[in-house]
Amino acid sequence: YLLYVLLYVGTKSYDLYTGTFDNKERVVAIGSAGISRLIGVAIGCWLAIKVDAFGRINALLQRAKYQRPTHQLR
């Protein structure tokens, strides 16, 4: 199945390169590329928040030891 998908993507990208691409298929390809880019940005932002990347970068820039903020009940 994976081989079939790779062959299909290869032929469609070759069709796009040579210019023998259906207009309907081009709209689907551009739309799916945009959707996958949005999903990638969302996953990247979620991962950056999850590992607290901004706090780590600030600590690195200030040459301080990184301490993850703890939530305290008061």
In a domain, 74, yes or no: no
Euclidean distance between CA atoms 48 and 53, whole angstroms: 5
Question: Mean pLDDT across the chain, nearest whole number?
Answer: 74
Candidates 46, 9, 45; CA nearest to 28 is 9
Domain residues for the domain of 30 are: 2-61
pLDDT tens sequence across 43-73: 888 888 887 777 777 777 777 665 666 666 6
In Å, how far are 26, 40, 63 from 50, measured between CA atoms? 36, 15, 22
In a domain, 71, yes or no: no
Check residues 38 and 11 and name the one with the higher pLDDT.
38
The total number of structural domains that make up the chain = 1
Identify the band that residue 38 occupies on the pLDDT scale cut at 50, 70 and 90: confident
